[in-house]
Amino acid sequence: MAIPRLSSLFRCRKWAKSDWLVAFLGFLLIVFFLSFFFDSTSDSVPSVDRPLPIAYPPDLVKLKLSSKAKERGAFCLDGSLPGYHFRNGSGSGSKSWLLHLEGGGWCSTIASCSSRAMTRLGSSNYFEDEVAFQGVLSSDPSQNPDFFNWNRVMVRYCDGASFAGRPEAEFKNETRLFFRGQLIWEAIMAELLSMGMSDAKQAILTGCSAGGLASLIHCDYFRDHLPKDAAVKCISDGGYFLNVPDVHGNPTMRSFYHDIANLQGVHKSLDQKCVAKTDPFKCMFPENFLKNIRTPVFLVNAAYDFWQIAHVLVPASDDPDKSWAKCRLNIKECNAAQLKVLHGFRSSLMDGIGVFHQNRVGGMFIDSCFSHCQSLMPVTWHSPTSTRIENKTIAESVGDWYFNRKPVKLIDCPYPCNPSCYNSNFT
């Protein structure tokens, strides 16, 4: 489904505060949360379990289609040119760069990729003319204290395989879909390097959801293409997907990743040490390759990740009697037995990141919220009422880690112990 273009909505800048609030919340609800789901539609639009405290006027950034994509054969699923949104850095941040890789699920079959190619997640023909830079991308120091004046880029996601698809897989494809995620990544990297990133003194690669997985897959490539003396690190937000069975014991996520890898030929883009030892699709799970990443990594993840609970742990197809219908959409609706299952999911995450916890240069912020992708909204990234662990917001924790102010290995106690959580509600 195409999302309406919003440029005309913001032409008049002299709005009342209430108008800004309506426009901003409308933008987030339409654009932001839709990017968290598979190419199929989600159950409903989320809210949070307490009021939003502050409405920040949107920082709108225009779309730019890649100038290097065509010559490199880098195309979205439908053959259109990929793109990105760029905000110049200034002052002390003029030599610092932050790249954010957009999320939006994956497609694992010709049918689902064909459907995706008719949306903004598979075609730049449906990209918004402008997007709001919020959270880690914001120019407002009150919501983005450490990175507000950096060069900031949002790379749009239109390939369906975490920027890792390969054109050699296209021979299986009779509908002329383009599996060019790896080439999109390389083309936009080349373009940004030519725009000044080759002189970066500081740099961060981050991403949300499928983009959070991509930030791990491409972390060392990012490091290797920047100056050796630059401080380069990577942040994965909501990208630590677990290889766990669903509530009926079915390998839902395992099978899904297997089909993505087989369809879009991602194995050459994945960690080669991992690929040499096991089936390539298993190397899409961070637990199997995180230890091989040479560049410092920070994990931002909700222990009760609503996307994984609704699509991996309790997919709708595995809930025919609707016994999980409310719980999978709102953690406050879970009964004691269901909460026990969700606590088990949290335990699987703790087991998965156990080795990484010992990584000297790594960092983490693992809260116990029913949330997903927490770096793009001020209400979860950094605001007076943001989620906190040890009285630190995610933004403060990431800043402490990136600038080596202090080690950051923050793991929240189990739900519902943290009253600062913003728990999404899809009911």
Residue 225 annotated as catalytic: no
Which residues in 187-230 belong to E strands, given as ranges? 202-208
**CB atoms near residue 404 (< 10 Å):** 10
Q: Compute the distance between CA of residue 183 and CA of residue 185 in angstroms, rounded to an integer.
A: 5
Contact 388, 396 (CB under 8 A): no
Catalytic residue chosen out of the listed positions 305, 367, 368, 412: 305
Contacts made by residues 311-316, CB under 8 angstroms, sequence distance 24+: 311/37, 311/38, 311/252, 312/241, 312/242, 312/244, 312/246, 312/252, 312/253, 313/244, 313/246, 313/247, 313/341, 313/342, 313/345, 314/246, 314/247, 315/246, 315/252, 316/43
Angle at 256 between CA 287 and CA 80, to 5 degrees: 105
Which residues in 330-373 belong to E strands, given as ranges? 363-367
**416 φ, ψ (degrees, to nearest 5):** -105, 45
Contact 24, 133 (CB under 8 A): no
Residue 242 tokens, joined = 């677990």
| Residue whose C-alpha is closest to residue 403's, from 150, 171, 195, 159 | 150
Cβ-based neighbours of 298, under 8 Å, separated by 6 or more: 233, 234, 235, 236, 362, 363, 364, 365, 398, 401, 402, 408
Catalytic residue chosen out of the listed positions 114, 139, 209, 424: 209
Residue 129 annotated as catalytic: no
Which residues in 156-230 belong to E strands, given as ranges? 202-208
Residue 305 annotated as catalytic: yes
Buried b (16+ CB within 10 A) or exposed e, 149-183: bbbbbbbbbbbbbbbbbbbebbeeeeeebbbbbbb
**87 φ, ψ (degrees, to nearest 5):** -120, 120
Dihedral (C-alpha) 70, 74, 76, 81: value to the nearest 10 degrees?
-30
Catalytic residue chosen out of the listed positions 138, 372, 383, 397: 372
Could you list the active site residues?
209, 305, 372
